[in-house]
Every structure is written in C-alpha cells, then in structure tokens.
C-alpha cells in the first residue's frame, strides 16, 4: 500500500482558468518531482534543453513548450515555480501560463499525463492545502465562495474569510468553550459535593457570552445569505396593471409576455440582476382577480406565497384606479413592511387628468409609466434604498456555507441546553456533554489543526492545584 503522505504528493495538473479561447490560460501543477518531471516538455527560448536549476522559485520564466517526440514547438509560455512548502498546497507547485487555446490546453494536459502528472480531481488542490495544514476548512470554503460570489459584497466577504475572519470567530468560540469545560471538569473531579458558587456564576456568564456571540453570528449570517443569493423582490398586483411591463422595463429586456388580455402571466417568472454591485432576484407574478381558471388560481397562490417570503414587495396598480382594497390585502400579507407602491400608466392621466380616481387611498406612491419610461429610474434607486437599507453589508455580516450555518445552529441549541442545566444548578455532567458536542462540531468545521496546542495553552493558564 502506498503510504498516505506519498499518495498525497502524487503529482497532479489542472486547468485553473475556464476552458475556452482566451489571451492566457493557466495550468496548475502540484506534487512531488516538480519541476523535474516536466523537463522533457520544455526548452528555453533558443530551443536548448533545461535543467531544474533554471526554475528559480517565484520567478516567471520564459520557455517553449514542445512535443517530446519531435521537439515541435507547441507554444511559447511563462512558467512559475513555487518551492515546497512555500506554495498554496504546501507541495512543489508549478503554474504554466500558455496562450488560451482549448486544443493546445488539452494537448498540454495529455503530455503532462505522459510524464506522470495526472489530471486533478475537483477541489484537489484545496484539499491538499488543507491536509498539509496550509488552510483550515473555513478558508477552503471561502475560496469556493469567492469563485461563486454573485455580488461585489460577496467577493469582499469571501476575501475576509479567506484571510481567516471566520476561522478566528470559531477559534475564539472554541477557546471560551474549552475554558468552561476545563473549569467544570476540574471541579467535578475534585469537589465531593456542590460546585462552588463562584464557579457556577463563571459558567453561567461564559455561556451567556457564547450564546450572544452565536446569536450575532446567526443574524449576520442571515443578512449574509441575502447578499450572497440576492434580495428577493416580487412584483404583484391586479391583472393588466402593467406588472410584466415593469418587470421587463427593470430588466431592460423583453422577458415576460405583455398583452392587454387579463390573466396573461400565470406562472412566476424570475430573473436575477445586479444593480450597484448588489444582487437581486426579481419575480413577476400572475395578476390577482376573481377567476375559475385552475392554472391562474395556482399562479395566484404562488404569488401570495412569494409576498410572504420576499425581501421586498412591489405592489403595482393602475393610477386611474388608485390604491384600493385588493392592494391593501396584499400589503397586509407582507409583515416586514418592505413594500413599494407603484401607480403605473402615468401617461394616461397626463393625457386625461379627469381619469384620476378620487377614491384612491393615500399611500406614499411612486408614479411611473412603463410606456414612456417616466419614473422607472427613480423606482430602481428606491428599490436599492428601501430593500437593502438596515441590511447594509457591514464588516460583521458573514456569508456562511450551509454546513457552517448548520453547525452554528447546532451550537446554539447545545448552548441553550447547557444554560438551562446550569441555571438549575443540576446535572453538571450533562453540561460537560453539551460542551463536548459543540467542541466536536467546531473541530469538524476547522479541522483538528492546533487542537492540542490550544488545549495545552488553556491548561497552562489554568491552575488546577488550587
Ligand atoms: N398606456 C400605458 N399602458 C401600459 C403601461 N404599462 C402597461 N401598459 C399596458 O397594459 C397592458 C397590460 O400590461 P401587462 O404588463 O401585461 O400587465 P400585467 O397583467 O400586470 O402583467 C398592456 O397592454 C400594456 O401595454 C403604461 O405605463 N401606460
Ligand atoms: Mg403579467
């Protein structure tokens, strides 16, 4: 059997940039034997053979890539060498910067395989970085989050996490938990009877600290989720008021069908878009009216559901009819109060002022015309303002992958259980158990790196023989 460490260093290669025609493509290599193993595939700019000394760490070297059988040149390219352990993976690493030709890239990958450098599995570089202690799991996940970021805010957040912001949070939580655990276990070992009152107080206070940090994290993760996935905005209103026209206008494309026939839109039509670096998911819905049509009824049900869960609701009505009961009913379903009232078809009142409905209820509305485009820009800015304020992406708000969010919720559950037990001054062994569950979850999250050191560190500060 190959020893684990040997297996790990097995050299791998992968295209790090998207496959397609481009100025430059980067092929990444990692593992043992580099750069020696690629020597048959490279020559210097004059066509001379190279030795491994040619590759000075962290310097871009100009080389020719050649077919090893007939030395035919494939490309002139740049190679940079990162010497272990000073590389992303912690292994010897190379980056080959070729021109971005898909045929060339495939050929290079085949040639690399012929010299014993196989194609990497998805995520294998990051996995190696983790296994070699270069990054913890939260940082590995931050790299994924950065690659898939859907807004500028998400990019900033991922960058912070790559620098270890989440790892620090978890680490500090872990330290607090360990402090409580150590104190409690020591007392349980040495005390014959009751736990001292001061210890009891200490445990309660520390657990309250833990709970409040967890609450902060959970709430900022919820905001973070919106920044990552986009703010969900739904357009609702009666039929024929111009919802689909507005949807198209905001998207600046003709996506939803617009006709003067009532009940044209039946299903929810969605489109994501970005304004000022913020991601939105805009939804057009079936108009609300009395109908026997089964499909339309289902469409309306879905529209109502959306109103309840959306981050923002845009209620559209015909300016000539004004805001009435139907619109008020929709507004009542959305409890967060993130609603904009849009009086559409302004052009028609301008051309016929008498058509304005005097019975319209007073609401703070934005008057627009989807036909002329008047007011649509104002509305767009209002959407950004209204639906994203109070949710400003601050330093503290975090975007967590589902796995981390799950662990956060579990920890919250265990902390509450421990607090209940501690308040009753009973079953301290169960508090210990809850603390241990949490520590296990967190260890899963960040990996076991540094666990022993951390324990030693905490024990060294703790005077057990008091
Ligand atoms: N005059 C005028 N007509 C509009 C305006 N917005 C939409 N319409 C028309 O109203 C009708 C219904 O529009 P549509 O967007 O399908 O409404 P929906 O049922 O709410 O989605 C269509 O004939 C549109 O051309 C507007 O601002 N002014
Ligand atoms: Mg429609």
Residues 97 and 41 in one domain: yes
pLDDT digits (tens, 9 = 90+) for 17-74: 988 899 999 999 999 999 999 999 999 989 999 999 999 999 999 999 999 999 999 9
Hey, is 219 helix, strand or coil? helix
Q: Domain containing 365 — which CATH number? A: 3.40.50.300
274: CA distance to ligand 1 center in Å? 25
In a domain, 119, yes or no: yes
Q: How many CB atoms lie within 10 A of CB 283?
A: 20
The alpha carbon of 97 is separated from its chain's Cα centroid by a whole number of angstroms, namely 29
* Cα 199–Cα 204–Cα 208 angle in degrees, nearest 5: 145
Q: Domain containing 22 — which CATH number? A: 3.30.1360.120
In a domain, 144, yes or no: no
Residues 170 and 274 in one domain: no
Phi, psi for 72 (deg, rounded to 5): -65, 135
Residue 330, pLDDT above cutoff 70: yes
Least confident of 220-224, 336-340, 375-379, 420-424: 220-224
pLDDT band of 462, cuts 50, 70, 90: very low
Residues 341 and 381 in one domain: yes
Q: What is the pLDDT of residue 425?
A: 77
Is 258 a pocket residue for ligand 1 (Cβ < 6 Å)? yes
Residue 81, pLDDT above cutoff 80: yes
Q: What is the pLDDT of residue 401?
A: 66
* Domain interval for residue 262: 229-388
Residues 24 and 65 in one domain: yes
Q: How many CB atoms lie within 10 A of CB 210?
A: 22
323: CA distance to ligand 1 center in Å? 17
Residues 287 and 363 in one domain: yes
Q: Which residue has the higher pLDDT, 431 or 66?
A: 66
316: CA distance to ligand 2 center in Å? 11
Which of 388, 407, 423 is the last residue before a domain boundary? 388
Which of 388, 415, 443 is the last residue before a domain boundary? 388
In a domain, 394, yes or no: no
Cis peptide before 182 (omega within 30 of 0): no
In a domain, 139, yes or no: no
Is 242 a pocket residue for ligand 1 (Cβ < 6 Å)? yes
Phi, psi for 236 (deg, rounded to 5): -135, 165
Please report the DSSP string for 268-299 in residue order.
-EEEEEEETTEEEEEEE-PPB-----HHHHHH
The residues, ordered by sequence, that sit 6+ positions from 137 with a Cβ below 8 Å of its Cβ are 130, 445, 446, 447
Is 270 a pocket residue for ligand 1 (Cβ < 6 Å)? no
Q: What is the pLDDT of residue 239?
A: 93
333: CA distance to ligand 2 center in Å? 20
In a domain, 141, yes or no: no
Gap between the Cα atoms of 135 and 128, Å rounded: 9
Residues 217 and 238 in one domain: no
pLDDT band of 465, cuts 50, 70, 90: very low
- DSSP class of residue 19? S
Residues 158 and 305 in one domain: no
Least confident of 20-24, 74-78, 277-281: 277-281
Structure tokens that stand for 66 in this block:
């050649």
Residues 306 and 379 in one domain: yes
Residues 379 and 407 in one domain: no
Q: What is the pLDDT of residue 448?
A: 59
Q: Domain containing 184 — which CATH number? A: 1.20.120.430
Residues 234 and 220 in one domain: no
pLDDT band of 338, cuts 50, 70, 90: confident
In a domain, 145, yes or no: no
CB 205 within 8 A of CB 415: no
Which of 362, 388, 414 is the last residue before a domain boundary? 388
Is 405 a pocket residue for ligand 1 (Cβ < 6 Å)? no
Percent of the chain residues past pLDDT 70, beyond the cut: 88
User: Phi/psi class of residue 345: alpha, beta or left (left: φ > 0; alpha: ψ in -120 to 50)?
Assistant: left
Least confident of 1-5, 18-22, 398-402: 1-5
Least confident of 100-114, 168-182, 314-328: 168-182
How many structural domains comprise the chain? 3
Which of 244, 269, 370 maximizes ligand 1 atoms within 8 Å of its Cβ, making it the mutation to test the pocket?
Answer: 370
284: CA distance to ligand 2 center in Å? 7
Q: How many CB atoms lie within 10 A of CB 433?
A: 15
Which protein residues have their CB within 5 A of the ion that is ligand 2? 243-244, 265
pLDDT digits (tens, 9 = 90+) for 186-223: 777 765 556 677 778 888 999 999 999 898 888 777 77
Residues 106 and 190 in one domain: no
In a domain, 106, yes or no: yes
pLDDT band of 442, cuts 50, 70, 90: confident
Q: What is the pLDDT of residue 197?
A: 73
Q: What is the pLDDT of residue 211?
A: 94
Gap between the Cα atoms of 299 and 30, Å rounded: 53
Q: Which residues of 368-407 are buried (b: 16+ CB within 10 A; e: fewer)?
A: bbbeeeebbeebeeebeebbbeebebeeebbbbbeebbeb
Compute the mean pLDDT over every residue in the chain, rounded to the nearest whole number: 85
Phi, psi for 348 (deg, rounded to 5): -70, -35
Phi, psi for 400 (deg, rounded to 5): -115, 140
Gap between the Cα atoms of 464 and 466, Å rounded: 6
pLDDT band of 167, cuts 50, 70, 90: confident
Residue 362, pLDDT above cutoff 80: no
In a domain, 355, yes or no: yes
Percent of the chain residues past pLDDT 90, beyond the cut: 44
Residues 215 and 243 in one domain: no
Q: What is the CA radius of gyration of the chain?
A: 31
Closest CA to ligand 1's atom 2: 345
């Amino acid at each position: 059997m190959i020893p684990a460490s040997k297996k790990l260093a097995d050299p791998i290669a992968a295209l790090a940039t998207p496959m397609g025609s481009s100025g430059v493509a980067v092929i990444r290599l990692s593992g043992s034997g580099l750069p020696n193993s690629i020597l048959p595939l490279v020559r210097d700019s004059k066509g001379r053979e190279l030795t491994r000394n040619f590759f000075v760490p962290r310097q871009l070297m100009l080389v020719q890539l050649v077919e090893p059988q007939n030395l035919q040149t494939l490309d002139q390219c740049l190679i940079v060498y990162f010497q272990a352990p000073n590389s992303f993976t912690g292994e010897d690493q190379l980056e080959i910067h070729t021109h971005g030709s898909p045929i060339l890239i495939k050929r290079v990958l085949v040639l690399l395989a012929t010299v014993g450098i196989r194609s990497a599995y998805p995520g294998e570089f990051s996995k190696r970085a983790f296994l070699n202690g270069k990054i913890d799991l939260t940082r590995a996940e931050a790299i994924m989050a950065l690659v898939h970021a859907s807004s500028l805010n998400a990019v900033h957040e991922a960058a912070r996490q790559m620098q270890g912001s989440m790892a620090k949070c978890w680490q500090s939580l872990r330290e607090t938990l360990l402090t409580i655990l150590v104190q409690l276990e020591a007392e349980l070992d040495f005390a014959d009877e009751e736990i001292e009152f001061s210890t009891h107080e200490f445990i309660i206070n520390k657990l309250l600290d833990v709970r409040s940090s967890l609450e902060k994290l959970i709430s900022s993760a919820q905001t973070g989720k919106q920044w990552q996935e986009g703010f969900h905005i739904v357009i609702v209103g009666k039929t024929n008021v111009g919802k689909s026209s507005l949807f198209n206008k905001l998207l600046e494309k003709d996506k939803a069908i617009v006709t003067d026939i009532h009940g044209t839109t039946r299903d929810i039509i969605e489109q994501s878009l970005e304004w000022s670096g913020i991601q939105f998911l805009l939804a057009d819905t079936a108009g609300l009216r009395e109908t026997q049509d089964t499909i339309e009824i289902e469409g309306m049900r879905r529209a109502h559901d959306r109103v309840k869960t959306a981050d923002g609701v845009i209620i559209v009505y015909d300016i000539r009819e004004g805001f009435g009961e139907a619109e008020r009913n929709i507004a009542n379903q959305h409890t967060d109060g993130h609603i904009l009232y849009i009086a559409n078809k302004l052009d028609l009142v301008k051309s016929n002022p008498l058509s304005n409905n005097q019975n319209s209820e007073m609401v703070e509305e934005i008057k627009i015309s989807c036909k002329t485009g008047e007011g649509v820009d104002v509305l767009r800015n209002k959407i950004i303002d209204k639906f994203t304020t109070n949710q400003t992406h601050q330093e503290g708000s975090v975007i967590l992958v589902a796995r981390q969010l799950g662990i956060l919720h579990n920890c919250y559950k265990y902390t509450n259980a421990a607090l209940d037990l501690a308040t009753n001054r009973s079953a301290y062994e169960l508090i210990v158990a809850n603390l241990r569950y949490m520590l296990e979850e967190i260890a899963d999250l960040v990996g076991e790196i540094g666990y022993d050191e951390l324990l030693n560190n905490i024990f060294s500060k703790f005077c057990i023989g008091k």
